[in-house]
Structure 1
Amino acid sequence: MRGIGKSFLGVRVLSGVDLDAQPGEVHAVVGENGAGKSTLMKILAGVHAPDEGSITIDGAAVAFGHPLDAQRAGVAIIYQEFNLLPQRDVAENVFLGREPARRGIVDRAAMERETARLLDELGETSFGPRDRVGRLSVAQQQVVEIVKALSQEARIVVMDEPTASLAEHEVELLYSLVRRLQDRGIAVLYISHRLREVFDLAQRVTVLKDGARVATSPIGEVTQSSLVRMMVGRELSDYYPPRAETFGDVLLSVRGGGNAKLAGIDLDLRAGQITGVAGLQGSGRTELAKALFGAIPFTTGEMTPVRPRSVREAVSAGIGLVTEDRKAEGLALRQSAGDNALLVAHALGRRPGRVRELLQRVRLSPPDPSREVRFLSGGNQQKVVLAKWLTVAPRILVFDEPTRGVDVGAKAAIHELVRELAADGMAVLMISSELPELIGMSDRIVVLRGGRIVGELPAGSSEEAIMHLAAGEEAA
């Protein structure tokens, strides 16, 4: 791609962007939300036509008037929101719109044979061609998207935030699938906000900012800090605001808390303190959040000043929860930012102050209460979730994966907000799978394993020390 330019309604979103990819290469494309990554990929996939510039594949110029043109040229794109029909089976999804026919009738046997062959080639044995897609996990549905791309004989595969909805143990599966695509000589364009994935998988990385290419570099010639500086104009060390030096009274105390997933939980949350929670997938992190919030209440032990038996009791007692999945559990996507910000207040019969001022406080960009939440970036959606809780001024706020699917600039803004809330006297519990985030933000870190707290570490502890406890080893 050379000199790609694109405008929408007179607004310039891409300007003179160059991008290339080699067979068997993973080329990462990074940048803040609004940098132009998705628009560039949609031009490659035939969704949009460029206003300027050219695209060549194997040295031959191509012009795509429709996504089918790009498919025929060997380009496949796997969007963050999968393009699958949940009520159809795997084989039907793989060959949707391209069903093989025999004597004018769809050849199901041929579809299933080819789907089974491709699944076997990827080493996938947990489901088969006849399984209904709606019953598959997110990671398995991603495999279906990759099989669909392979069935189209794709030579260039675009992955847009492929791990945004994956659990930790599923990320390794994705890594192995990407490497299998490389082994087949397929070029992978990999869009991700998670810089660790970029360094794990990519051979080269291109940075976009404000619709222009800042740089393209071999991965060995950049660092996380230099990438962040190119993307947002600040150092990696500026990601995390300074920690507090003193803390207030205990606002919430749990002794011997337990339920079907948790046992023997002893935990104190103090005013002004950010308590980080680490643990492997299945360790009980989300279950702890939901127990404190009354969604899956503690059935044994003591929790003071209140042990909520329901979400309403928890909210009335000043406890809030920013959920792991904001789209499914945190937002009404077809309602406005203003309506979403008032959800909790209205449920409690309260009348908060001016919504626009609240949205400005959480740094929503732009702070427009009338805009539908589904049209906002992941970072802005998360800020609306935070605004929803600030309307009722909770004393204790639990964050479950507060920056999942959020770009680096929005991450820094959310980190600043969390630290400001703690400085104002709120007790914060923060669960995160990103250990650098936990280390950078937490005043102390508790580690869960098997539904129990197995240790506590001070601020600034190493990733190795956390993982030793999380995996059941003695701390180094």
Structure 2
Amino acid sequence: MPDTTSQPVLELRGVSKRFGAVQALTNVDLSVHAGEVVALVGDNGAGKSTLVKTIAGVNQPDEGDIVWQGGSVGIKGPHDAQKLGIATVYQDLALADNLDVVGNLFLGSEIRRAGVLDEIAMEGRSRELLQTLSIRIPSVRIPVASLSGGQRQTVAIARSLIGDPKVVLLDEPTAALGVEQTAQVLDLVERLRVRNLGVILISHSMEDVMAVADTIVVLRLGRNNGIFERDQTTQEEIISAITGATDNAVTRRAARHSEGQQ
């Protein structure tokens, strides 16, 4: 378990964001410590994407503070976030299908020697990184287009680590993946924790959230609607916070189950 008594790596304090007449976020708080997986959950339209884009520098908050390692910072664009040490893996992955694994890992961060691409150095670093993360790829020279969905996701996450970030944002990393591929990605999330990275995981899957999260932050209608420790809560409690209702199909099913055991 991460040491949550220490100073968070990243903290949002009272962050609000509006787009014209639409109030997307209102007074949102969130923090992530080194070695902590924070799951950000909520229904469609809850503000999850807006919050991620605010941390990643795509949006700038109208109110509130973003605090990095104890100091207030202004993130004016994605480059500022990357310079701080915030890496984001979006749902579309933004991989180049025509390039091999090495080409994708170093896209925009190529190693050059005397002005020429150092393919040997990039290939060696690629093998080392994938091996460290226990990512199984047939070859680092295989075109990304030929990889499975789970392998593509792990390559995208590995690419986010090239700049040695301290916090990684993962936007729905297991969406549309099968059971085995989902397990591969969740194993990788565990390894990011072991590397003492802070991870913010956006997910609709309660099973995935309960499997890897340390802390679960619920957004509802652009506001905080609960912060839960994973080992002190239940799926029913989280779903109630997401829906804003204490009575729903999940809680009723759980009640019927408990009655049947009595």
> Is TM (by shorter chain) over 0.5?
yes
Note the C-alpha offset of 1:14.
Answer: 0.3
Gap runs ≥5 in structure 1: 243-435, 441-459, 461-476
Which letter does structure 2 place at the counterpart of 1:216? I
Report whether the alignment pairs 1:25 with 2:36: yes
* Bigger-Rg structure (1/2): 1
Give the Cα–Cα distance (whole angstroms) in 1 for the partners of residues 150 and 141 of structure 2.
17
Residue pairs, 1:1-400, within 5 angstroms: 1-235=12-246, 237-239=248-250
The structure, 1 or 2, with the larger RCO (C-alpha pairs under 8 Å, 6+ apart) is 2
Give the Cα–Cα distance (whole angstroms) in 2 for the partners of residues 132 and 65 of structure 1.
34
Paired residues of 1:228 and 1:236 also in contact (CA < 8 A): no
Note the C-alpha offset of 1:127.
Answer: 2.7
SS in 2 for 1:64: coil
Paired residues of 2:240 and 2:248 also in contact (CA < 8 A): no
What is the RMSD of the two structures over their aligned residues, measured on CA atoms?
2.0
Give the Cα–Cα distance (whole angstroms) in 2 for the partners of residues 85 and 79 of structure 1.
14
Note the C-alpha offset of 1:155.
Answer: 1.1
Paired residues of 1:224 and 1:236 also in contact (CA < 8 A): no
Give the Cα–Cα distance (whole angstroms) in 2 for the partners of residues 206 and 88 of structure 1.
37
Which letter does structure 1 place at the counterpart of 2:181? E
Give the Cα–Cα distance (whole angstroms) in 2 for the partners of residues 123 and 212 of structure 1.
37
| Alignment-derived partner of residue 5 in structure 2 | none
Which letter does structure 1 place at the counterpart of 2:42? G
Note the C-alpha offset of 1:125.
Answer: 3.1
SS in 1 for 2:161: helix
Paired residues of 2:37 and 2:213 also in contact (CA < 8 A): yes
Paired residues of 1:27 and 1:190 also in contact (CA < 8 A): yes
Give the Cα–Cα distance (whole angstroms) in 2 for the partners of residues 150 and 201 of structure 1.
19
Note the C-alpha offset of 1:78.
Answer: 1.2
Task: Give TM-score scaled by structure 1 length.
Answer: 0.49
Note the C-alpha offset of 1:61.
Answer: 2.1
Task: Give TM-score scaled by structure 2 length.
Answer: 0.88
Deviates more, 1:163-172 or 1:204-213: 163-172
Note the C-alpha offset of 1:233.
Answer: 2.4
- After superposition, the C-alpha distances for 1:237-288 in whole angstroms (9 at most, x for unaligned) are 525999xxxxxxxxxxxxxxxxxxxxxxxxxxxxxxxxxxxxxxxxxxxxxx
- After superposition, the C-alpha distances for 1:66-101 in whole angstroms (9 at most, x for unaligned) are 212111111111111111111111111111111111
Paired residues of 2:16 and 2:61 also in contact (CA < 8 A): yes
Deviates more, 1:226-235 or 1:6-15: 226-235
Paired residues of 2:41 and 2:216 also in contact (CA < 8 A): yes
Residue pairs, 1:407-422, within 5 angstroms: none
Deviates more, 1:65-74 or 1:17-26: 65-74
Note the C-alpha offset of 1:235.
Answer: 4.4
Note the C-alpha offset of 1:207.
Answer: 0.6
Which letter does structure 2 place at the counterpart of 1:61? S
Give the Cα–Cα distance (whole angstroms) in 1 for the partners of residues 70 and 251 of structure 2.
45
- After superposition, the C-alpha distances for 1:178-210 in whole angstroms (9 at most, x for unaligned) are 111011000111111111111111111111000
SS in 1 for 2:186: helix
Note the C-alpha offset of 1:236.
Answer: 6.6
- After superposition, the C-alpha distances for 1:104-139 in whole angstroms (9 at most, x for unaligned) are 112111111111110111112333321111111111
Gap runs ≥5 in structure 2: 1-11, 258-262
Give the Cα–Cα distance (whole angstroms) in 1 for the partners of residues 184 and 120 of structure 2.
28
Percent identity over the alignment? 38
Paired residues of 2:236 and 2:251 also in contact (CA < 8 A): no
> How many positions carry a matched residue from both structures?
245
Which letter does structure 1 place at the counterpart of 2:130? L
Which letter does structure 1 place at the counterpart of 2:54? I
The 1:48/1:160 distance shift into structure 2, 3 A limit, reads same
Give the Cα–Cα distance (whole angstroms) in 2 for the partners of residues 219 and 239 of structure 1.
18
Q: Which runs of 4+ in 1 moved over 6 A?
A: none
The 1:241/1:28 distance shift into structure 2, 3 A limit, reads closer
Which letter does structure 1 place at the counterpart of 2:73? V
Give the Cα–Cα distance (whole angstroms) in 1 for the partners of residues 204 and 164 of structure 2.
28
Which letter does structure 2 place at the counterpart of 1:74? G
Paired residues of 2:236 and 2:250 also in contact (CA < 8 A): no
SS in 2 for 1:85: coil
